[in-house]
Structure 1
Amino acid sequence: MRKNKAVFLDRDGVLNQELGDYVCRVEDFVVLEHNFKPLKELQDRGYLLIVITNQGGLAKKWYTEDDLQSMHKKLREAYEANGIQLAEIYYCNHHPEYTSKCLCRKPGSLMLEKAAARFDAEPSKSYFIGDRERDVLAGEAAGITGILINSDQPISEVLHLID
């Protein structure tokens, strides 16, 4: 039996400000500071924090891999400065209109399944917080409880849903 529990997190609209389309520039990447406290609480309660995000803008060539890595560096640094460790950031760089069909793009569950296996996370003790229906569907397909929030909604408002 797997021993760890995890909270999987969508990126845009959950950890950083939703811009309505893709965040293409590091200058436009705004970390949602109101989520520092609730995510620290979840970490302190023993949950691994793992990011699962679709990044189809790469396939569309709206931004580069270097741009994405710079955004993820900014995200990690902001959370680390507040005592929060993001165990990993998984992303799908495909888009159905620009690349062949893949299994990793949400609502597919491959990224979640890979992360759960790598970190020995028990799906039945884990949650996926996202601001799109595809996040909840991906979680459910992997046996993980999905929690749908509004874009940029404070995670503190759904903490009571996590054991």
Structure 2
Amino acid sequence: MKLVILDRDGVINEDSDAYIKSVQEWIPIPGSIDAIAQLSKAGWTVAVATNQSGIARGYYDLATLDAMHARLRMLVAEQGGEVGLIVYCPHGPDAGCDCRKPRPGMLKAIAAHYHADLAGLWFVGDSMGDLEAALAVDSQPVLVKTGKGPKTLAKAVPEGTLIFDDLAAVARALIHT
């Protein structure tokens, strides 16, 4: 199985320091929906692992989060693709859970669901927490220059991190290798 795991905010859709609190605020980054569809059509399973502390903070509820993910699935399906498992951490940063990135709980859950090995698997994110979660399970950290990517890139990213302009560039690299 060819599996790639994506962060959501800043990778698939525009990010906001004020949180994405509604379907109307969930705006795809140009090229990201097509990139997921292209990966899917090329035989890749595309899973998503996303921190969603806005739930714990009371900014939106699970029904709203589900509606955002339904929109993502619909847009990708309209392009002939499919989104696989979407896992999220609803906890705040101080909850001490194992699922909130940089902890690797969500990546492990996706691996268990697909009976996949995380070693070497690409995890695409835009933050240092994403890169650290990838490293915690021996996955390949991949940084995109969308969302928080430019700020993350300004820091010392882990050695061996692959860097791409956006999700479309990641998709091209995976499809043509």
TM-score of the superposition, structure 1-length normalised?
0.87
Residue type of the alignment partner of 1:8: I
Give the Cα–Cα distance (whole angstroms) in 1 for the partners of residues 42 and 139 of structure 2: 18
Question: C-alpha deviations, 1:78-137, integer Å up to 9, x for none?
Answer: 11111121111100000134xx31000000101101111211223235201101011111
Percent of aligned pairs sharing the same letter: 31
2:130 corresponding residue in structure 1: 135
1:156 paired to 2:145: no
Residue type of the alignment partner of 1:57: G
TM-score of the superposition, structure 2-length normalised?
0.81
In structure 2, the CA distance between the partners of 1:93 and 1:139, relative to structure 1 (3 Å rule), is same
Q: Which of the residues 17, 21, 25 maps onto 2:18?
A: 21
Q: Which of the residues 84, 107, 115 maps onto 1:112?
A: 107
Question: With CA pairs under 8 Å and 6+ residues apart, which has the higher RCO, 1 or 2?
Answer: 1
CA RMSD of aligned residues (A): 1.8
Unaligned runs of 5+ in 2: 148-164
In 1, are the aligned partners of 2:7 and 2:50 still within 8 Å (CA)? Answer: yes
Q: How many residues align?
A: 158
In 2, are the aligned partners of 1:76 and 1:85 still within 8 Å (CA)? Answer: yes
2:38 corresponding residue in structure 1: 41
In 1, are the aligned partners of 2:102 and 2:132 still within 8 Å (CA)? Answer: yes
Residue type of the alignment partner of 1:145: Q
